[in-house]
């Protein structure tokens, strides 16, 4: 009949778990092996498929899918495969490195005598607990102006989030309407604040409109330009254009809207006739950190394949100097420094890290003013307002 936990659960129901074999994005990551490459934002969707290149499994352009959607598509018909919005669109704060997810946090419900409340909770891999432990736990700063103060919890105020190492993470799972594939699923990843908010809001509205149902419901995944404003590190205000994701569906009237959303359901009912067997099948996706780490980390770290230094520090928590060293290493990599040169610089400027950071920032400012480097300079502040679509990815 099957294998418990592998093909079937305790009730005898089949485990409908699909692999991700197609990736949809509005950006391009660095090319494999490109040491100083930057992610590139796009104004349209691209499609990738897992392919074996030499001994590595990589994501390469899926030209057959691209042809089905035409040149530079900005909206896609997609079909959801589960009624649970948490299985359709998974969101969390996440700090990805090329070897895995170092820290991730999400909203949890806390029960107490005053009723239920919600808060952000994070789990981090530390030298003491490489398998992961609740963060920040009881950790406190051991040095610097914040010595003795508790390390901030997950969310606003977390230094890793403010620095840009940790970012919002959203993964949308679906089937393409024009290029449907059975036995596999498509995924779109984004770290844009605005895109994650739009996708979540659109998904919830569609779900409520359909009485809590999402399975086999159709929607349009759209990429839309928006004018955004942000401040650089000197406080000067600038504007730019960002392409933001959303889930939408429009029609001339309510019957037309319902017909458009539920067309896949109607077609499948016609195919099955009066048989309703498996009509409520819910498909889910499970991806491991190892499968995704290098792919997602490459969206944000210009020096592809090089992990950011650990900055969790000893059990007492990270120090101000640890955080400054992380910032310096990240800026140096954006400038194309290799690891040996970074270590040499840190040794030469060991007593004046603030001066080294200023020197590197000035060197970064002197580079040609293209969008990627401008994004590097404005850092996490711009990431909050514009969203960083990286692969976007």
State residue 249's pLDDT score. Answer: 85
Residues of the chain with pLDDT under 50: 275-279, 301-319, 370-393
State residue 198's pLDDT score. Answer: 93
Closest CA to 182 of 61, 304, 257, 268: 268
State residue 39's pLDDT score. Answer: 66
pTM comes to 0.68
State residue 88's pLDDT score. Answer: 93
pLDDT tens figures, 102-138: 999 998 887 776 777 888 889 998 888 888 899 888 7
């Amino acid at each position: 009949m099957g294998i418990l936990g592998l093909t079937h659960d305790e009730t005898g129901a089949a485990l409908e778990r699909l692999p991700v074999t197609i990736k949809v994005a509005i950006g391009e990551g660095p090319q494999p092996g490109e040491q100083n490459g930057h992610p590139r934002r796009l104004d349209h969707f691209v499609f990738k498929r897992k392919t074996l290149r030499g001994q590595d499994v990589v994501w390469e352009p899926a030209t057959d899918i691209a042809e089905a959607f035409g040149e530079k598509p900005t909206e896609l018909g997609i079909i959801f495969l589960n009624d649970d919005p948490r299985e359709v669109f998974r969101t969390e704060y996440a700090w990805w490195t090329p070897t895995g997810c170092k820290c991730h946090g999400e909203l949890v419900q806390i029960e107490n005598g005053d009723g239920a409340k919600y808060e952000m909770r994070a789990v981090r891999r530390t030298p003491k607990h490489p398998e992961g432990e609740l963060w920040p736990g009881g950790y406190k700063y051991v040095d610097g102006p914040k010595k003795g103060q508790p390390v901030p919890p997950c969310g606003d105020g977390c230094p890793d989030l403010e620095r840009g190492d940790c970012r919002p993470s959203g993964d949308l799972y679906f089937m393409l309407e024009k290029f449907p594939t059975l036995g596999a699923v498509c995924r779109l990843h984004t770290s844009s604040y605005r895109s994650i908010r739009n996708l979540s809001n659109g998904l919830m509205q569609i779900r409520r409109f359909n009485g809590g149902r999402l399975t086999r419901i159709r929607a349009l995944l759209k990429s839309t330009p928006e004018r955004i404003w942000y401040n650089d590190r000197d406080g000067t205000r600038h504007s730019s254009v960002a392409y933001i994701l959303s889930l939408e569906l429009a029609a001339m009237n309510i019957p037309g809207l319902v017909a458009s959303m539920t067309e896949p359901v109607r077609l499948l009912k016609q195919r099955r006739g009066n048989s309703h067997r498996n009509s409520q099948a819910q498909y889910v996706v499970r991806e491991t950190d190892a499968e995704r780490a290098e792919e997602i980390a490459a969206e944000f770290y210009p020096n592809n394949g090089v992990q950011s230094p650990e900055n969790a520090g000893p059990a007492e928590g990270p120090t101000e100097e640890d955080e400054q060293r992380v910032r310096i290493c990240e800026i140096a990599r954006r400038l194309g420094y290799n690891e040996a040169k970074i270590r040499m610089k840190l040794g030469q400027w060991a007593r004046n890290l603030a001066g080294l950071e200023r020197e590197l920032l000035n060197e970064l400012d002197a580079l040609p003013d293209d969008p990627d480097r401008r994004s590097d300079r404005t850092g996490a502040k711009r990431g909050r307002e514009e969203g960083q679509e990286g692969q976007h990815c």
